[in-house]
């Protein structure tokens, strides 16, 4: 059918069948829009296409074939190109729609998370790989001889790799190829993690591990939806057990995804994976270089890549046939994305499993309250690994009341912990001091006039970093030098540091044990996965005696010689007024405590606190997780808080405080009133000023049976957000800053 150019033609008369398709593009648009098909093109839903959008072209996905817009075809644009690529599976498209509906996000913004390597759609640029060809002249110049030596192992290499390894120019390689000394052929990067070793006879499981592995294998192979919690203390061998479920899914010809928090920090995890499967997994996180992303994305979409290990964004890769998801450290707060599409990767993983008809396995030593309640209500299967692997013992936990045995003036380590550090050092063992605060001091003030250094763009104090002799804002990154004179009263050298950061603790330890080798493990000191790997190796090799670390130390590392852990401020984190503050603190401290004595030796843990009677601290001391969760659950149920009720947050922000408040009042007035829904706010957010924007929050609270999305849609449809302001919806908020 020829395409008409008449602008008089109304939509009802437009040529319909097969000539239009609705294409979703990865931009913040709520739905797919109509495009015309050029005469010789046919598409099906899921096909990747290139379409014009405004002045540029963008990749997109054919969402439906039926054009729904009653738009004059003369105003529609043509699909420019159909990519030669497997279509996005229907179940994946359903998943994206589900996520968009649930999080109240634009469908296009959700698609963007799937089109995370758009260059993968383009045909690969073929680079050549070189090998030695034929006879070489007797005498070669040194540079050429180096290339010949390098290639004499017979492994084909790309020009860039030869240039790097042999220290020569790419031009020299080309000229040798032209002279017939090197043979060139197109190089292609194969999909990662294609062939994995499924049967591992070297495994020796304990009885508990074996029965948990058998149960998981059965669920993973059942070909139907289920959720299971694999609950086990640190070091109980959970990872090896769930690897058996991964093997089962792959054995059935399907793909498996392992979600991990802070993937870049887990070098030890990757080593275990390689030991079990004889190959590295396909990695997916923000630091994977673009070229590798492209190869991995393609391998996943074509079904060649069998196992992906990734951060939360890996959930949105367009798997050809996903058949299992493991969510390791399911309680971890980093599974919640707080920017853009605000989703919880653990919860969305369960949705993905339900849509795909397979098993989701949640794994933790300190499961979230949500998950435990689901177990108790019989919604999730439950597997427990009770005993510690290899017979190691759980540490002794001591509560140090800072009221009864305070540190001396200006110090932060109590006499009891000092003594433990000295004894541990004398015994030739390692200690860890945990304080979740980077820098030297969280607040710097003038002793003369009381002036405090504050960030100009945030309601936050500037943190002193002695390493860089700077003051820094930990929210927006603002930096300034420490001035000589007070900006307020001009007194010189009048500044005092208030409170401890890890740098200050290091200073104190150096005064206490001048011979001990100390080391700071914090995200501003250790900035890349390689540095973390190096630091972990140095600790294992006992190059450090006392490690002072922030929460990056809490993640899954195993240090056999570490026998003493001191938590400088166990109360930190409990004071935030956050719904999950107690739960998070318990999880974090439990993980840190789990660092002690994981080898042959018994560990001990000292928790410094001003609130020894607090339920979190008491449960920790008893090492009684279930008691803690039971107390926490009772309190939440009484208050109708999640998981016994629903919450949503509205965050409104803008540069002009008056206009913001005016708008928020108007929004509040429009809130539809129902008996069983409470709207709290607007109130200044705890971070009332962030990166130059003022912030207000609403909190919407309702019973479990109520759809907050429907309520919010009804409410927000009456609201027009001015362009200077930003209104964000946060369903199931995890943070309340
Ligand atoms: Zn002053
Ligand atoms: Zn700031």
Ligand 1 centroid distance, CA of 492 (Å) = 8
Q: Note the ligand closest to the C-alpha atom of 494.
A: 1
* Rounded Cα distance, 246 and 77, in Å: 45
The pLDDT assigned to 511 comes to 96
Residue range 359-375: mean pLDDT, rounded: 95
Instruction: Write out the residues surrounding ion ligand 1, Cβ under 5 A.
Output: 446, 448-449, 451, 486, 488-489
The pLDDT assigned to 393 comes to 61
Element (H, E) at 53: strand 48-53
Ligand 2 centroid distance, CA of 102 (Å) = 32
Ligand 2 centroid distance, CA of 480 (Å) = 11
Ligand 1 centroid distance, CA of 496 (Å) = 10
Q: Note the ligand closest to the C-alpha atom of 491.
A: 1
Residue range 358-371: mean pLDDT, rounded: 95
Ligand 2 centroid distance, CA of 389 (Å) = 45
Q: Evaluate if residue 136 carries a pLDDT over 70.
A: yes
Q: Evaluate if residue 602 carries a pLDDT over 90.
A: no
Helix orientation angle between 90-103 and 345-356, rounded to the nearest 10 degrees: 140
Q: Note the ligand closest to the C-alpha atom of 495.
A: 1
Q: Name 546's bridge partners.
A: 431, 518
Q: Evaluate if residue 326 carries a pLDDT over 50.
A: yes
Ligand 2 centroid distance, CA of 577 (Å) = 21
Ligand 2 centroid distance, CA of 152 (Å) = 56
Averaged pLDDT of the chain:
87
pLDDT digits (tens, 9 = 90+) for 376-395: 999 999 999 976 545 456 67
Split at pLDDT 50, 70, 90, the class of 137 is confident
pLDDT digits (tens, 9 = 90+) for 436-478: 888 999 999 999 999 999 999 888 899 999 877 899 998 888 9
Question: Token match 């090197």: residue?
Answer: 182
Write out the two tokens for 581.
């503050």
Q: Evaluate if residue 14 carries a pLDDT over 60.
A: no
Q: Note the ligand closest to the C-alpha atom of 489.
A: 1
Residue range 546-559: mean pLDDT, rounded: 77
Q: Name 715's bridge partners.
A: none
Ligand 2 centroid distance, CA of 458 (Å) = 4
Q: Note the ligand closest to the C-alpha atom of 473.
A: 2
Q: Note the ligand closest to the C-alpha atom of 490.
A: 1
pLDDT digits (tens, 9 = 90+) for 689-729: 999 999 999 999 999 999 999 999 999 999 999 999 999 99
The pLDDT assigned to 388 comes to 56
CB 653 within 8 A of CB 695: yes
Ligand 1 centroid distance, CA of 443 (Å) = 14
Ligand 2 centroid distance, CA of 276 (Å) = 45
Pairing of strands 430-434, 562-567: parallel
The pLDDT assigned to 12 comes to 37
Ligand 1 centroid distance, CA of 442 (Å) = 18
Considering the chain, what percentage of its residues have pLDDT values greater than 70? 92
The pLDDT assigned to 11 comes to 37
Ligand 2 centroid distance, CA of 477 (Å) = 6
Ligand 2 centroid distance, CA of 655 (Å) = 14
Residue range 148-171: mean pLDDT, rounded: 84
Q: Evaluate if residue 484 carries a pLDDT over 60.
A: yes
Ligand 1 centroid distance, CA of 485 (Å) = 8
Ligand 1 centroid distance, CA of 500 (Å) = 21
Residues in contact with 323: Cβ distance below 8 Å, sequence separation at least 6, in sequence order: 220, 249, 252, 253, 254, 255, 256, 356, 358
Write out the two tokens for 486.
């007070």
Element (H, E) at 269: helix 267-277
Task: State the greatest distance between any 2 C-alpha atoms of the chain, in Å, as a whole number.
Answer: 93
Q: Note the ligand closest to the C-alpha atom of 492.
A: 1
Residue predicted with more confidence, 116 or 8: 116
Q: Say what the pTM is.
A: 0.83
The pLDDT assigned to 529 comes to 66
Residues in contact with 378: Cβ distance below 8 Å, sequence separation at least 6, in sequence order: none
Q: Note the ligand closest to the C-alpha atom of 447.
A: 1
Region of poorest pLDDT, from 168-177, 313-322, 423-432: 168-177
Ligand 2 centroid distance, CA of 687 (Å) = 10
Considering the chain, what percentage of its residues have pLDDT values greater than 90? 55
* Rounded Cα distance, 564 and 424, in Å: 7
Ligand 2 centroid distance, CA of 462 (Å) = 8
Split at pLDDT 50, 70, 90, the class of 406 is very high
Q: How many CB atoms lie within 10 A of CB 375?
A: 18
Q: Note the ligand closest to the C-alpha atom of 458.
A: 2
Ligand 1 centroid distance, CA of 491 (Å) = 6
Ligand 2 centroid distance, CA of 594 (Å) = 34
Ligand 1 centroid distance, CA of 448 (Å) = 5
Ligand 1 centroid distance, CA of 503 (Å) = 24
Helix orientation angle between 107-114 and 90-103, rounded to the nearest 10 degrees: 130
The pLDDT assigned to 44 comes to 94
* Rounded Cα distance, 461 and 465, in Å: 13
Ligand 2 centroid distance, CA of 627 (Å) = 39
Residue range 120-149: mean pLDDT, rounded: 80
Residue range 657-669: mean pLDDT, rounded: 96
Q: Evaluate if residue 427 carries a pLDDT over 80.
A: yes
Ligand 1 centroid distance, CA of 489 (Å) = 4
Ligand 1 centroid distance, CA of 490 (Å) = 6
Ligand 2 centroid distance, CA of 466 (Å) = 18
Ligand 1 centroid distance, CA of 551 (Å) = 34
682 cis-preceded (ω within 30 degrees of 0): yes
Q: Note the ligand closest to the C-alpha atom of 690.
A: 2
Ligand 2 centroid distance, CA of 417 (Å) = 34
- Residue 345: closest CA among 551, 95, 634, 674: 95
Backbone angles phi, psi at 158, to 5 degrees: -75, 160
Residue 183, CB-side half-sphere exposure with 13 Å CA sphere: 11
Q: Note the ligand closest to the C-alpha atom of 689.
A: 2
Residue range 491-500: mean pLDDT, rounded: 92
Ligand 1 centroid distance, CA of 498 (Å) = 15
Q: Evaluate if residue 491 carries a pLDDT over 70.
A: yes
Q: Evaluate if residue 141 carries a pLDDT over 90.
A: no
Q: Note the ligand closest to the C-alpha atom of 488.
A: 1
Residue range 232-238: mean pLDDT, rounded: 81
Residues in the chain: 737
pLDDT digits (tens, 9 = 90+) for 96-114: 999 999 999 999 999 999 9
* Rounded Cα distance, 64 and 50, in Å: 15
pLDDT digits (tens, 9 = 90+) for 252-307: 999 999 999 865 556 778 888 999 999 999 999 887 888 889 899 999 999 999 99
Write out the two tokens for 335.
């599974």
Residue predicted with more confidence, 70 or 126: 70
Ligand 1 centroid distance, CA of 465 (Å) = 20
Ligand 2 centroid distance, CA of 461 (Å) = 8
Ligand 2 centroid distance, CA of 299 (Å) = 41
The pLDDT assigned to 1 comes to 35
Ligand 1 centroid distance, CA of 447 (Å) = 7
Ligand 1 centroid distance, CA of 436 (Å) = 29
Region of poorest pLDDT, from 65-69, 284-288, 524-528: 65-69
């Amino acid at each position: 059918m020829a395409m008409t150019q008449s602008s008089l033609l109304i939509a009802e008369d437009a040529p319909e069948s097969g000539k239009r398709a609705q294409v979703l593009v990865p931009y913040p648009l709520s739905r797919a829009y109509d495009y015309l098909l050029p005469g010789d093109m046919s598409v099906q839903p899921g096909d990747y296409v290139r379409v014009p959008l405004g002045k540029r072209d963008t990749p997109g996905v054919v969402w439906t074939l039926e054009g729904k817009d009653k738009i004059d075809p003369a105003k529609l644009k043509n699909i420019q190109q159909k990519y030669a690529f497997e279509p996005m599976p229907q179940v994946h498209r359903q998943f994206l729609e589900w996520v968009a509906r649930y999080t109240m996000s634009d469908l296009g913004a959700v698609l963007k998370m799937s089109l995370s390597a758009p260059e993968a759609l383009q045909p690969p640029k073929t680079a050549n790989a070189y090998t030695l060809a034929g006879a070489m002249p007797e005498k070669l110049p040194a540079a050429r001889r180096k290339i010949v030596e390098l290639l004499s192992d017979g492994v084909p290499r790309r020009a860039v790799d030869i240039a790097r390894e042999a220290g020569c120019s790419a031009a020299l390689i080309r000229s040798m190829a032209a002279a017939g000394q090197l043979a060139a052929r197109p190089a292609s990067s194969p999909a990662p993690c294609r062939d994995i070793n499924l049967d591992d006879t070297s495994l020796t499981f304990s009885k508990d591990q074996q029965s948990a592995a058998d149960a998981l294998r059965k669920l993973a192979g059942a070909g139907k939806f289920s959720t299971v919690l694999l609950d086990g203390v640190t070091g109980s061998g959970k990872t090896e057990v769930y690897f058996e479920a991964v093997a089962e899914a792959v054995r059935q010809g399907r793909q498996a995804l392992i979600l991990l928090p802070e993937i870049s920090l887990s070098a030890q995890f990757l080593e275990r994976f390689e030991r079990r499967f004889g190959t590295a997994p396909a990695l997916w996180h923000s630091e994977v270089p673009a070229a590798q992303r492209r190869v991995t994305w393609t391998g996943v979409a074509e079904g060649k890549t069998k196992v992906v290990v990734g951060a939360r964004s890996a959930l949105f890769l367009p798997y050809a046939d996903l058949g299992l998801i493991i969510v390791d450290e399911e309680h971890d707060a980093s599974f919640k994305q707080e920017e853009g599409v605000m989703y919880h990767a653990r919860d969305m993983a369960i949705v993905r499993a339900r849509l795909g008809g397979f098993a989701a396995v949640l794994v933790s030593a300190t499961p979230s309250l949500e998950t435990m309640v689901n177990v108790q209500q019989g919604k999730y299967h439950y597997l427990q690994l009770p005993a510690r692997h290899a017979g190691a013992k759980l540490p002794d936990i001591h509560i140090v009341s800072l009221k009864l045995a305070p540190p001396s003036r200006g110090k932060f380590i109590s006499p009891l912990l000092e003594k433990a550090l000295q004894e541990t050092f004398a015994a030739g063992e390692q200690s860890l001091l945990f304080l979740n605060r980077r820098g030297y001091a969280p607040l710097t003030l003038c002793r003369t006039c009381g002036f405090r250094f504050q960030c100009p763009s945030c309601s936050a104090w500037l943190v002193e970093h002695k390493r860089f002799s700077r003051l820094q804002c930990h929210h927006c990154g603002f930096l300034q030098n420490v001035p000589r004179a007070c900006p307020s009263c001009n007194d010189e050298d009048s500044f005092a540091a208030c409170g401890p950061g890890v740098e200050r603790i290091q200073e104190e330890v150096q005064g206490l044990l001048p011979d001990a080798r100390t080391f700071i493990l914090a995200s501003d000191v250790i900035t890349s996965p390689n540095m973390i790997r190096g630091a972990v190796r140095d600790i294992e090799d006992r190059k450090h005696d006392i490690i002072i670390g922030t929460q990056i130390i809490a993640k899954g590392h195993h240090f056999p010689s570490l026998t003493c852990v001191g938590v400088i401020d166990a109360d930190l984190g409990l004071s935030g007024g956050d719904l999950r503050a107690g739960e998070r603190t318990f999880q974090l401290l439990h993980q840190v405590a789990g660092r002690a004595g994981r080898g042959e030796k018994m560990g001990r843990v000292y928790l410094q606190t001003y609130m020894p009677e607090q339920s979190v601290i008491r449960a920790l001391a008893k090492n009684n997780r279930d008691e803690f969760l039971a107390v926490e659950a009772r309190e939440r149920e009484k208050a109708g808080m999640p998981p016994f009720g629903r919450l949503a947050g509205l965050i409104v922000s803008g540069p002009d405080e008056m206009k913001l408040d005016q708008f928020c009042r108007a929004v509040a007035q429009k809130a539809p009133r129902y008996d069983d829904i409470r709207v709290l706010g607007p109130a200044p957010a705890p971070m009332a000023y962030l990166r130059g924007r003022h912030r207000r929050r609403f909190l919407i609270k309702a019973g479990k049976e109520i759809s907050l999305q429907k309520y919010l849609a009804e409410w927000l449809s009456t609201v027009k957000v001015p362009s200077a302001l930003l209104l964000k919806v946060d369903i199931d908020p995890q943070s309340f800053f």
